[in-house]
Homo-oligomer: A and B are copies of this chain.
């Protein structure tokens, strides 16, 4: 029926509205705002490893993650890489750059098969004009991002590596953890390299640290692509240790 729908599009209007309800930008707004937002949205599917856009591209589009997971990578001038954050359903991607009219400062890569909704700058402007609460939500969202960055800066600036890794794992667990029989599982692939680039260390140090945790029974066995935490409380202790 919808001949113009992008390849791989499978979400109907209700599914889109459900996604928007969970999002930082539309969450808590009245139904007519959600409907207007859903109507204006396009859908796009990314396979694991695909980039949503490239760092340095002109920022023309707002995105919200519908399902799956994006890893936001920032390449440094000297060829290293920093993982700014992982983003899951409901998270806004690209909006800060679009609103400031600067190039995208990082590249979002699908950590798993991922679906996103998108709005052009113009459409989002119209939406914000028609629904002023959206602008307030945008401010709120950006404030949350600032808070998060300040916390990470503080961690990287003052804490030792093991604490940072513990805190990072716990944050991801808090955002995306799934309870299983064995413990809490991180439901998407998270490599040692990823953790290293999130915590500002090397994959070697991460590997050693996780090996020690496995030894201690804090997390589950080796070389499985999904990390399982068996003793979250112990991780909390590590993340708070003086």
A residues whose Cβ falls under 8 Å from a Cβ of B: 74, 76-78, 80, 82, 84, 96-97, 99-100, 102, 105-106, 135, 138-140, 142-147, 149-150, 152-154, 156-158, 199-200, 240, 242
Contacts and interface: CB of A to CB of B under 8 A. Distances in A.
A89 to B, nearest CB: 22
A98 to B, nearest CB: 10
B139 A99 contact: yes
Contact residues of A: prevailing secondary structure: helix
Most chain B beta-carbon contacts within 10 A, residue among A80, A84, A158: A158
Given A135-B135, A139-B135, A158 B96 contact: no
Given A78-B242, A200-B158, A150 B84 contact: yes
B96 A146 contact: yes
Contacts of A157: 82, 156, 199-200
Given A99-B139, A139-B142, A146-B146, A76 B158 contact: yes
B154 A152 contact: no
A78 to B, nearest CB: 6
Nearest to A140: B100
A136 to B, nearest CB: 8
A32 B185 CA distance: 56
Contact of A143 (B100, B147, B240): B100
B242 A154 contact: no
Contacts of A150: 74, 84, 105-106, 149
Given A99-B140, A139-B138, A142-B143, A153 B152 contact: yes
B82 A144 contact: no
A146 B154 CA distance: 15
Given A97-B143, A135-B139, A142-B146, 4 more contacts: A82-B154, A138-B139, A149-B153, A157-B200
Contacts of A154: 74, 76, 82
A147 to B, nearest CB: 7
**8 cross-chain pairs, A with B, having the tightest CB-CB distances, nearest first:** A157-B200, A149-B149, A100-B143, A142-B142, A156-B156, A80-B158, A82-B154, A96-B143
